[in-house]
């Protein structure tokens, strides 16, 4: 069943029989299409009962008025008037031109129907004269206005009502016929008199500021003249490369530097808004109208001319009296836009821009302009609100009506805190490919900022480099200091890694934690005399789990060393030696495999990717605090630079022994290595700390079962000497032996004579088994090439 509502003063005679009186049984759902905009259901029922409004339907269940078939007059029905107030009854009686006592009189006549007086002759009544006092004057004129959207869109997005005001000759007119137009909908009302009228725009009984200030003129029926027109506009703000709908703050519509209407957003994540009670003369942001809007109605035409000097403004706080009294173009440009009618109307004619297959789906398909088409402004966005703001994301067609233009009022800064982080490069790739992958979803402004602070990176990227990420430019002294520290650390790492060959890079990536452990150990037991290390004294390892792996390998190597010593000293037979060596080798192989496994676990900065808007699932961004001096992995960049430098020197040594060929020491040795004796002395001194810290020094041949050493001579005159503690009889195995102890040990055991003897007998004194052990188990050449 369909309903419609009219004011009782506008009720036509032919509609008397359509007035519904069964008010108490009405439901809000049944009346949803007829309920006046901005009016609550209880208030609507009250207006029906009071007689201010009348509800019409083709077949009322309880008609308020009944027509007498004989007299052709109208009366109030008994059941239909039960729900009406006395005032409503009076109003309906007056409308029907019916005496107030007619209803009771009719009831009395029915009660005495049993009495039938004698009728001597048939009574012929006089002809009934039609009552023409309520006849409506003939309509000869029309008034038309236009709204640049469909009727349905206007009802849902704005929802106010248009009325032609009452004049001395004619009552208020609020019933409109509609016709589609090129830009939207034309509304037509018929009038009886050619006279100026007021076009009032209302919500319920309250007139809005957009009401036409001057009188409007009617025209002959059928002329179709439109001299007043309006455009609904969806206000928005720009964040980065996206438009968003604010959920907090105020919108303002100005015309000729005067306030037309103030609107207040609902807040709490809602982007709808309502018109307030504010006028240009007095500010009051209380809700003035019982209607929520999603679009603002602006003037298109007044008296047939396009309206100029309109502006729309968005403010986070209510406008001040001073601002309102001093409106100017500069202030408007800072907070909003000047309304351009031609651009607004052209939006509906814009072609839909299809997204390119390789373009980011989380950006709109077309570049943001002042006025935007919905289809070109939508973007994929999983979050309801844009990052760093309370603005609603335009991520579905349901957010905004398709036939409305979205106006970009201003660009706003994302309200995000400064965050500083980094990511470690895991694989080599071009810098452009890395940025494309990692910065997908990041606003252009932030993307440029990140790239600006990563000038240190190599191209292509080298595994182990550190990429800096930040959410915005630093502002405080502390923020700037953190960024400077991180940049300096990252620059060190990239600079040293950039000097490595591809093979060296692979070596560094695989054994970074191993080398870092031994570097720290060497540093803490005796600083290298070449002073190339970047870190400060007294540092600790950043990979304690790898330190445990190294300790396990050290333990197995010590057992292997002891086994060889026992064989050389003839404490065990060869079959027992082979069996025990096989068992130890199986254990050692497993332990050596663990040396290439990553144990360093830097905490992931939860939420950092979200703060930046990064969509990549591969990105692992850590908080910069983790690698600054007080973090869980302090001075990572310096450590990477240090280990990269060690790799370079290790290759110069010709052979890399895991944790044994101390690159810094070897480097120093190789500078002034003349005779075997001189090289041995330098090597013993420079490599003492590390030898004491890990596998000891039994990496070679034995002499008289008491002293074990190996001398390898590479192409560049480099000598590596590893001294075993059991032979020396002092605690060189323990960490902390250091340079001084090795210098004394060299003198104590008269190694000058010892090496002279080895040099003349080295080939025949080294058993084949021991040489094989040295080449395959203690040393690992990492594809550098054998020195033997």
- Say if strands 405-411 and 226-239 run parallel, antiparallel, or are unpaired: parallel
How far from the centroid of its chain's Cα atoms is residue 713's Cα? Answer: 61
Task: Name, of 57-61, 320-324, 392-396, 783-787, the range with top average pLDDT.
Answer: 320-324
Q: Is the pLDDT of residue 224 over 60?
A: yes
Q: Is the pLDDT of residue 681 over 60?
A: no
Cβ-contact 522, 689 below 8 angstroms: yes
> What per-residue confidence (pLDDT) applies to 307?
97
Q: Is the pLDDT of residue 146 over 70?
A: yes
Tokens 């308020």 correspond to 64
> What per-residue confidence (pLDDT) applies to 66?
81
Q: Is the pLDDT of residue 349 over 70?
A: yes
Confidence of residue 775 (pLDDT cuts 50, 70, 90): very low
Q: Is the pLDDT of residue 667 over 80?
A: no
Q: What are the chain's domains?
A: 4-104 (no CATH), 141-229 (2.60.40), 232-295+308-338+353-411 (no CATH), 416-543+600-652 (no CATH), 653-778 (no CATH)
Q: Can you tell me the distance from the alpha carbon of 207 to that of 213, in angstroms, rounded to the nearest whole number?
A: 11
**Residue with more model confidence, 753 or 776:** 753
Cβ-contact 560, 584 below 8 angstroms: yes
Mean pLDDT of 47-53: 87
Mean pLDDT of 98-114: 35
pLDDT tens track for 307-336: 999 999 999 999 999 999 999 999 999 999
> What per-residue confidence (pLDDT) applies to 692?
29
Q: Which stretch of DSSP H or E encloses residue 742?
A: helix 738-748
Other CB atoms within 10 A of residue 389 CB: 21
List beta partners, residue 297: 232
Phi, psi (5° rounding) for residue 272?
-75, 165
Number of helices and strands in the chain (H, E): 23, 30
pLDDT tens track for 232-252: 999 999 988 899 999 999 999
Confidence of residue 621 (pLDDT cuts 50, 70, 90): confident
> What per-residue confidence (pLDDT) applies to 544?
72
Q: Can you tell me the distance from the alpha carbon of 267 to that of 63, in angstroms, rounded to the nearest whole number?
A: 45
Mean pLDDT, the chain, as a whole number?
74
Portion of the chain with pLDDT greater than 90, in percent: 35
Q: Which of 40-44, 187-191, 511-515 has the lowest mean pLDDT?
A: 511-515
């Amino acid at each position: 069943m369909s309903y419609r509502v009219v004011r009782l003063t506008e009720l036509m005679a032919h509609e008397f029989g359509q007035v519904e009186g069964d008010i108490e049984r009405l439901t809000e759902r049944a009346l949803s299409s007829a309920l006046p905009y901005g009016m609550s259901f209880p208030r609507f029922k009250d207006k029906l009962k009071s007689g201010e409004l009348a509800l019409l339907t083709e077949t009322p269940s309880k008609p308020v008025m009944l027509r007498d078939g004989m007299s052709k007059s109208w009366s109030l029905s008994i059941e239909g008037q039960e729900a009406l107030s006395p005032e409503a009854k009076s109003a309906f009686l007056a409308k029907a031109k019916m005496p107030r006592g007619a209803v009771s009189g009719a009831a009395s006549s029915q009660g005495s129907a049993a009495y039938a007086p004698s009728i001597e002759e048939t009574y012929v009544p006089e002809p009934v004269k039609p009552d023409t006092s309520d006849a409506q004057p003939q309509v000869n004129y029309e008034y038309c206005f236009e709204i640049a959207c469909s009727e349905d869109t206007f009802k849902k997005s704005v929802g106010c009502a248009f009325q032609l005001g009452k004049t001395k000759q004619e009552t208020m007119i609020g019933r409109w016929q509609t016709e589609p137009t090129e830009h939207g909908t034309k509304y037509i009302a018929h009038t009886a008199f050619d006279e100026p009228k007021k076009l009032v725009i209302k919500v319920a009984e309250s007139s809005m500021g957009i009401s036409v200030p001057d009188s409007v003129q009617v025209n002959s029926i059928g002329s179709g003249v439109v001299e007043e027109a309006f455009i609904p506009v969806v206000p928005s703000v720009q964040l980065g490369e996206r438009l968003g709908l604010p959920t907090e703050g105020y919108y303002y519509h100005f015309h000729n530097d005067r306030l037309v209407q103030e609107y207040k957003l609902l807040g709490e994540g809602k982007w709808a808004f309502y018109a307030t009670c504010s006028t240009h003369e007095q500010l009051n942001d209380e809700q003035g109208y019982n209607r929520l809007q999603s679009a603002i109605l602006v003037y298109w035409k007044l008296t047939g001319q396009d309206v100029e000097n309109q502006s729309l403004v968005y403010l986070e706080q209510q406008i001040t009296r001073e601002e309102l009294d001093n409106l100017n173009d500069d202030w408007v440009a800072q907070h909003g836009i000047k309304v351009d009618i031609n651009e607004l109307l052209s939006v509906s004619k814009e072609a839909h821009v299809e997204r390119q297959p390789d373009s980011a789906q989380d950006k709109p398909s077309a570049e943001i302009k002042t006025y935007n088409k919905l289809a070109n402004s939508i973007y994929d966005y999983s979050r309801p609100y844009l990052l760093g703001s309370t603005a609603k994301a335009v991520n579905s067609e349901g957010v905004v009506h398709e036939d409305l233009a979205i106006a970009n009022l201003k660009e706003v800064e994302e309200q995000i805190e400064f965050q500083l982080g980094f990511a470690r490069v895991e694989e080599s790739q071009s810098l452009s490919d890395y940025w494309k992958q990692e910065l997908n979803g990041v606003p252009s402004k932030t993307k440029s900022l990140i790239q600006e602070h990563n000038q240190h990176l190599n191209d292509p990227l080298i595994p182990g480099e550190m990429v800096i990420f930040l959410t915005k430019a630093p502002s405080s002294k502390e923020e700037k200091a953190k960024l400077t520290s991180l940049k300096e650390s990252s620059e060190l790492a990239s600079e040293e890694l950039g000097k490595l060959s591809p093979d060296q890079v692979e070596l560094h990536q695989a054994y970074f934690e191993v080398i870092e452990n031994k570097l720290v150990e060497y540093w803490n037991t005796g600083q290298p005399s070449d002073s190339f290390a970047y870190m400060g004294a007294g540092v600790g390892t950043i990979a304690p789990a790898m330190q445990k792996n190294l300790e396990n390998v050290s333990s197995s190597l010590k057992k292997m060393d002891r086994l060889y010593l026992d064989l050389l000293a003839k404490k065990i037979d060869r079959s027992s030696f082979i069996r025990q060596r096989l068992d130890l080798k199986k254990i050692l192989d497993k332990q050596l495999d663990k040396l290439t496994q990553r144990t360093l676990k830097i905490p992931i900065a939860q939420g950092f990717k979200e703060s930046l808007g990064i969509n990549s699932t591969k990105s692992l961004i850590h908080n910069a605090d983790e690698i600054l001096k007080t973090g869980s992995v302090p001075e990572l960049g310096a450590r990477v630079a240090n280990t990269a430098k060690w790799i370079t020197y290790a290759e110069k040594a010709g052979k890399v022994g895991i944790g044994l060929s101390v690159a810094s020491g070897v480097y120093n040795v190789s500078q002034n290595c003349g005779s075997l004796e001189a090289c041995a002395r330098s090597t013993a001194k420079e490599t003492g700390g590390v030898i004491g810290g890990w596998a000891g020094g039994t990496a070679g041949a034995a002499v008289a079962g008491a002293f074990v050493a190996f001398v390898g001579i590479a192409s560049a005159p480099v000598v590596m000497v590893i001294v075993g503690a059991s032979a020396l009889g002092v605690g060189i195995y323990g960490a902390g032996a250091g340079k001084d102890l090795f210098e004394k040990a060299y003198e104590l055991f008269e190694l000058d004579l010892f090496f002279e003897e080895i040099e003349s007998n080295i080939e025949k004194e080294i058993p084949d088994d021991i040489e094989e052990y040295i080449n395959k188990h203690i040393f690992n050449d990492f594809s550098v090439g054998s020195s033997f």
